[in-house]
Amino acid sequence: MTSLLTNPSAKTALRTLRVVQAAGDRVRTEISTGLKVQGANDNPAFFMVSSRTRGDIAVINGFRDNLVVSQGAIKAAEAGLNQLNDLLLQITDMIPVSQNGIAVEELETVYDDLLDQMRQTIEASGFQGTNLLKQAGSTTSVIGLNRTGSEFDFQTLSMEGGDFLRKSFDGLVESGNNFVFDAASSAFSYTSAQGTDTSNTVDRENSWEIITDPLDPLAGWVRWDQDTVGNDIYFTQAQVDANSPRMDFRVQVVNPGRYYVNVQGFGTNGTSDSIHLGIDGVKFTDNGGVDLPSNNPTAWGGRSTYGGDVFVDIAAPGIYTINIWGREDGAAIKTVEFTDDPANRPNGYTPALTPIGGSDLPYFTHPLDGEERRAAAGLMELVEAVNPEAMRLNPDQAMLVIDSARAKIARYQAQVGAYDATLTRQTSYLANLEDGLTGSVAALVEADLEEASSRLQALQVQEQLAVQGLTVANGRGSVILSLFR
C-alpha cells in the first residue's frame, strides 16, 4: 500500500544516505588531518595512551637538550686537558736545561709564562657555566627517566670535578683566638741552615732534631742538637736566615688580632735557652728572641731575653706559616701556644693541641716532600712547586712532582672520557627510544591513508547508491498521481 502521509522507503533511504555521508566525512577528515583518533570521543583508550606518550616524548627531548650541554662541558674539559698536557711537557723539558745553571732568569720568565697559560687554560675550559677542570665536588645531571605506572625514576650522571686549582691545606685551624702545636709531632718541615758550626767536630751542620732516646727526659722534644752547645747565637734576621735551623708550621687564622706566644722549652744553661719566632719567613721576635726556662722542662716561657712579652699582630684572616729558628744552639722545645690573652701562661699543665685541619695527612712543606702530599695536592699546586730553582737543586724530586701532575691529568682524562662515553650511549638510547615511542603513537592515532582512500571510494559509491535509492523512494508518490489523470 502506498501512503500519501508517510513514505517508509524514503525514510530508510534518507537514513542510509546520512550514515554514509557521516562515514565519508570522517574518512575525509582522517585524510586531511592524517589522524584517525583526533579526540577522546574517537577512541578514549588510544587518546589517553597517546597523550601520555607524547608527554614522555617531550621530556625525552628535554633530556637530549640537557645532554648536549653536558657534552659541551666535557668537550671543553677534554680540550683543556690536552692543552695542559702540552704545557706540562714544556715544563718537563726545563728540568735538564736547569742543570746547566745558565740563563736562570730566562728560565724563570718562561716558567712563569707557562704557569699563567696553564691557569688561563683551566679558567677557560668551561661551557655554559660548567667548568669540570676548575670545579670542586661533583655536578649531577639528569640524563633519563624511567616510568613505572605513575612512578618516576630519574637517571642521573654525577661528574666529579678535577679541582685543578685546589690549594690543599694540612695545618692547624685556629679556634677561639688560640692555637697550640707540638714541635715534634706536627712539624710542618725542618730546615737545616746552609751555615756550619766550625766549633763542632761531629755535627757541623745546624739542624733541628727530634730526641728519640726513650731514656732521655726530653724524649719527643725537638732540639738544636750538636756535640757541643752554647757556642752559637744569632740575633738578626740576616743571621738566622744564613745560619740558624728553622721549623715551619702552617696555621689557618680565622680571628685576626694580637697573639701572645708561650713556649714550653728548655735550655741546659744560660747560653742554650732561647729561640726566635717569625711568620711567613719574617722574624717578629726582637734580637733577644724568646727566653726559655733553664733546668725545668715543665716550665713555660713567653718573654724576650731583653724583657717584655713576645707577641705578633695578625692583620687579616688567612693561612700563615709560623717559623721557629734557633737563637742559641742546644735549645729544646716541646709545645708552642698562641693566645690572645696576655695573662694566660700555662703553669703545671699542657694546653690541648689544636687538631690538624684540611686533611689527615702529616705536615709537609710542599709537594716535593712526600707521595701522600703529592696525591692530595691540586694540579697547579704541584706545578707551582717545581720552579727552576727546585729543578736545579733537586731534579729527581722535581721529576717525581711532574710525574704526579701528569698522572693527575691522565687519570682525569680517563674519567672525563668515561663520562663522554656514558653520555654518548645515553644520547643514542634516547634517540632510539624517542623513535620507538613516536612510532607507537603513530600506530595508535595516525590514519592509514591507503586504507582511508579505499574506504572513501567505497563510501562514495554507497553515497551515490543511497541517493539513487532515495530518488526512487521519493518517486512513488507520482505513481498515485498518475492514477487520477
Q: Quote the pTM value.
A: 0.56
Q: How far is the C-alpha of 141 from the C-alpha of 129, rounded, in Å?
A: 13
Q: Name the H helices within 138-291.
A: 237-243
- CATH 1.20.1330.10 domain residues, the chain: 35-167+371-446
Torsion of CA 307, 313, 319, 325, to 10 degrees: -20
Q: Which CATH architecture has domain 171-358?
A: Sandwich (2.60)
User: Which residues make Cβ contacts (< 8 Å) with residue 92, sequence separation at least 6?
Assistant: 399, 402, 406
The answer to whether 303 touches 263, Cβ cutoff 8 Å, is: no
User: Which residues make Cβ contacts (< 8 Å) with residue 4, sequence separation at least 6?
Assistant: 477, 480
- C-alpha distances out from residue 449 to 20, 47, 75, Å: 19, 19, 45
Q: Check residue 236 and give its pLDDT.
A: 93
Q: How far is the C-alpha of 340 from the C-alpha of 221, rounded, in Å?
A: 25
Q: How far is the C-alpha of 76 from the C-alpha of 15, rounded, in Å?
A: 71
The answer to whether 382 touches 376, Cβ cutoff 8 Å, is: no
Question: What's the CATH code, domain 35-167+371-446?
Answer: 1.20.1330.10
Cα 53 from chain centroid (whole Å): 38
**162-197 as b/e, with b when 16 or more CB fall inside 10 Å?**
bbbbbebbbbbbbeebbbbbbbbebbbbbbebebeb
Q: Check residue 139 and give its pLDDT.
A: 83
- CATH 2.60.120.260 domain residues, the chain: 171-358
The answer to whether 34 touches 446, Cβ cutoff 8 Å, is: yes
What phi and psi, each to the nearest 5 degrees, are found at residue 317?
Answer: -60, 150
- C-alpha distances out from residue 366 to 37, 189, 382, 394, Å: 72, 9, 8, 13
Q: How far is the C-alpha of 213 from the C-alpha of 225, rounded, in Å?
A: 13
User: Which residues make Cβ contacts (< 8 Å) with residue 302, sequence separation at least 6?
Assistant: 260, 261, 262, 263, 290, 309, 310, 345
Tens place of pLDDT per residue across the chain (485 aa): 555 566 677 777 778 777 777 766 676 766 666 566 666 666 677 667 666 777 777 777 777 877 888 888 999 999 999 999 999 999 888 888 777 767 777 888 888 899 999 999 999 998 888 899 998 888 888 777 777 766 777 788 888 988 888 876 667 778 888 999 888 764 455 565 544 444 444 445 577 888 888 888 888 888 887 645 556 888 999 998 888 888 888 888 889 999 999 999 988 788 888 999 999 899 999 999 999 988 777 788 888 888 889 999 999 888 888 999 989 888 999 999 999 988 887 876 778 888 766 444 333 344 445 677 777 778 888 888 777 776 776 777 788 888 889 999 999 999 999 999 988 888 888 888 777 777 776 666 665 566 666 776 776 777 677 677 777 767 666 666 666 66
Q: Half-sphere exposure of 304 toward its Cβ, with a 13 Å CA cutoff?
A: 16
SS3 (DSSP) at 402: helix
